[in-house]
A = this chain, B = another copy of it.
Amino acid sequence: MGDGRFQDNLQGLFDPRAVAVVGASGNPGKLGYHVLNSLIQGGFQGPIIPVNPGSGEILGLPTFPSVTAYGGEIDLAVIVLPAGQVAPVLEGCIQKGVKGMVLITAGFKEIDDPEGGALQSRLAELVRAAGVPVIGPNTFGMVNLHKNLNASFTPEFSRAEKGSIAVVSQSGGFSHLLAFMAMGQGVRLAKVVGLGNRLNVDFAEMVPYLIEDADTQVIVLYIEGLDHPRALMDAVEAGRGKKPIVVLKTGASTSGDRASLSHTGSIAGKQEIYEGALRQAGAICVRDSEDMLDVAQALSVCPLPQGPGVAILTAQAGPGMAACDVCEAEGLHVVPFRAESQASIDALLPPLAIRTNPVDMGPAWYSSFAIRGIVETVMDAEEVDGIILLMMFASANRTAVSDLSDVLYERRQKKPVVTCLVSPPGIWDGVVEKLGEARAIVNLPTPERAAKVMACLWRYKKMLKMKPGGKSGRY
């Protein structure tokens, strides 16, 4: 499905001029209500066309009995009808010349009844010749934030901030989870796409589209089972070095694998084999949902470290030790400073401080001059590839983060700066958020998560340095 027309149509699906909702409803007890509501509340700028033979108007919009009854062009049809009614609607949409569809309806390949799988095959056959991509069935839909397009049953997706991370997921629940986590942590998203049963849009189709998509810089895939693993590996391999692809694969457990089959009709399969192949192809495999969002956020914000050498600058020794432990366990090197870097740090800190790496800047709390100087020193130090900056609020260091923000801003994107700047709610949030928006730092809630993310950035960089097909490390 990677051919040109299909990919062009995918482009139209995500950036449609007009959207029809087939099965739109005025009844809040129906998904057809929520889908229409999402499109309206999401602020989509083109025509929104509710299709329902039974009503004259829904949510203030005139309805049409069918897509073909609508006079203008329709690029995207979102279908929320019972499974048995879908086939003729698909035919109508093809006839109408839609670029793509989102098929929210469940009750296909994922159900126990073999008739579900058979019906899904018939639908796939219907759209094959037309080369029309269909997201779903059995999906919450999809959201393209940059186009204010919320083609899902959850209007709240539109609350996510616009950014460069595209989430593609085999699970609606995971999509919701990641989007809500992103809202809570100020992580900015480009798209959220629920693949569901993957009628003809699978990960292997989404990856090439997103590699080309100007709004997307980081691709996040949540995978349960793969029907065509080879196609995905090829797509990831083709994208190697173009945009980072972060993968979370579940289904390692027997109970999880069992659930996968019933979920989207695919066996999750051998975890290690898939993960190994994905890494070999150039993907970044992560451990869990939290790791996934942390890594995606860092990749969307930070330049990559050029080597494993990190400087740990900490306002308090304890969090620095926790970060050291993780750095060393994960393949980073808490580098000894070269003589000249060490000399300039020594000149800035009182004799009682820990001045070697990790640097305890605690004694410099009151001196924004010293803290700035230390950060500048490691920014310029050749031996330092990445900076982990840890600071817990105490009344005596209230202004420390804002005192630092100029130097962090001025030297942003020189080296990755992963921070853990933590205060009681409401004290440092504003300045930390601004630094994040300026892509000067990525801020994480714990020192361990900051260190883990830096290690992941380095593993990714190391992988990019290797020749494709070469020996693959863990990244």
**How would residues 390 to 403 of chain A score, 1 for a CB under 8 Å from any chain B CB and 0 otherwise?**
10111110000000
Q: Which residues of B contact A395 (CB under 8 A)?
A: 34, 37-38, 153-156
Q: Which residues of B contact A254 (CB under 8 A)?
A: 328
Given A173-B390, A256-B328: 9 more A-B contacts, CB < 8 Å: A29-B366, A34-B396, A171-B319, A171-B321, A177-B318, A253-B324, A253-B325, A259-B324, A289-B322
Number of residues of chain A lying within 8 A (CB) of chain B: 92
Q: Are A424 and B159 in touch, CB under 8 angstroms?
A: yes
Choose among B259, B315, B445 the residue that contacts A317 (Cβ–Cβ < 8 A): B259
Q: In the complex the two chains form, what is the Cα distance from A86 to B446 in whole Å? A: 35
**How would residues 68 to 109 of chain A score, 1 for a CB under 8 Å from any chain B CB and 0 otherwise?**
000000000000000000000000000000000000001100
Q: Are A263 and B352 in touch, CB under 8 angstroms?
A: no
Q: Are A446 and B288 in touch, CB under 8 angstroms?
A: yes
**How would residues 378 to 414 of chain A score, 1 for a CB under 8 Å from any chain B CB and 0 otherwise?**
0000000000001011111000000000000000000
Which of A16-24, A202-210, A338-346, A353-361 is near enough to bind chain B? A353-361
Q: Are A250 and B34 in touch, CB under 8 angstroms?
A: no
Task: Give chain B nearest CB distance to A362 CB in angstroms.
Answer: 8
Chain B residue nearest to A258 in the complex (CB): B356
Choose among B156, B262, B447 the residue that contacts A354 (Cβ–Cβ < 8 A): B262
Choose among B169, B180, B251, B448 the residue that contacts A290 (Cβ–Cβ < 8 A): B448
Q: Are B319 and A173 in touch, CB under 8 angstroms?
A: yes
Q: Are B171 and A334 in touch, CB under 8 angstroms?
A: no
Known: A180-B424, A224-B318, A327-B253. A153 touches B396 (CB 8 A): yes
- In the complex, whether A449 has a CB less than 8 A from a CB of chain B is yes
Known: A111-B352, A180-B424, A393-B180. A169 touches B253 (CB 8 A): no
Task: Give chain B nearest CB distance to A150 CB in angstroms.
Answer: 11
Q: List 28 A-B contacts (CB under 8 A).
A: A34-B395, A112-B352, A153-B396, A171-B316, A172-B316, A172-B394, A173-B314, A173-B316, A173-B320, A173-B390, A174-B316, A176-B316, A177-B447, A251-B325, A252-B328, A253-B321, A253-B324, A253-B328, A255-B324, A255-B334, A256-B321, A256-B324, A256-B325, A259-B320, A259-B354, A263-B318, A263-B360, A288-B322
Q: Which residues of B contact A312 (CB under 8 A)?
A: 255
Chain B residue nearest to A363 in the complex (CB): B106
Q: In the complex the two chains form, what is the Cα distance from A362 to B177 in whole Å? A: 15
- In the complex, whether A222 has a CB less than 8 A from a CB of chain B is yes
- In the complex, whether A281 has a CB less than 8 A from a CB of chain B is no
Chain B residue nearest to A318 in the complex (CB): B171
Q: In the complex the two chains form, what is the Cα distance from A259 to B313 in whole Å? A: 12
Q: Which residues of B contact A357 (CB under 8 A)?
A: 255
Q: Are A352 and B173 in touch, CB under 8 angstroms?
A: no
- In the complex, whether A193 has a CB less than 8 A from a CB of chain B is no
- In the complex, whether A297 has a CB less than 8 A from a CB of chain B is no
- In the complex, whether A170 has a CB less than 8 A from a CB of chain B is yes
Chain B residue nearest to A35 in the complex (CB): B395
Q: In the complex the two chains form, what is the Cα distance from A82 to B371 in whole Å? A: 23
Chain B residue nearest to A34 in the complex (CB): B395
Q: Which residues of B contact A445 (CB under 8 A)?
A: 181, 184, 290
Q: Are B176 and A392 in touch, CB under 8 angstroms?
A: yes
Q: Are B394 and A154 in touch, CB under 8 angstroms?
A: yes
Chain B residue nearest to A263 in the complex (CB): B317
Task: Give chain B nearest CB distance to A305 CB in angstroms.
Answer: 17
Q: In the complex the two chains form, what is the Cα distance from A29 to B398 in whole Å? A: 11
Which residues in window 145-162 of A have CB below 8 A to B?
A: 153-156, 159
Task: Give chain B nearest CB distance to A474 CB in angstroms.
Answer: 17
- In the complex, whether A140 has a CB less than 8 A from a CB of chain B is yes
Q: In the complex the two chains form, what is the Cα distance from A270 to B148 in whole Å? A: 55
Known: A253-B325, A424-B180. A318 touches B360 (CB 8 A): no
Q: Are B259 and A107 in touch, CB under 8 angstroms?
A: no
Q: In the complex the two chains form, what is the Cα distance from A422 to B156 in whole Å? A: 12
Chain B residue nearest to A424 in the complex (CB): B156
- In the complex, whether A466 has a CB less than 8 A from a CB of chain B is no
Task: Give chain B nearest CB distance to A458 CB in angstroms.
Answer: 16
Q: Which residues of B contact A319 (CB under 8 A)?
A: 171, 173-174, 177
Q: In the complex the two chains form, what is the Cα distance from A396 to B222 in whole Å? A: 23
Q: Which residues of B contact A253 (CB under 8 A)?
A: 321, 324-325, 327-329, 334
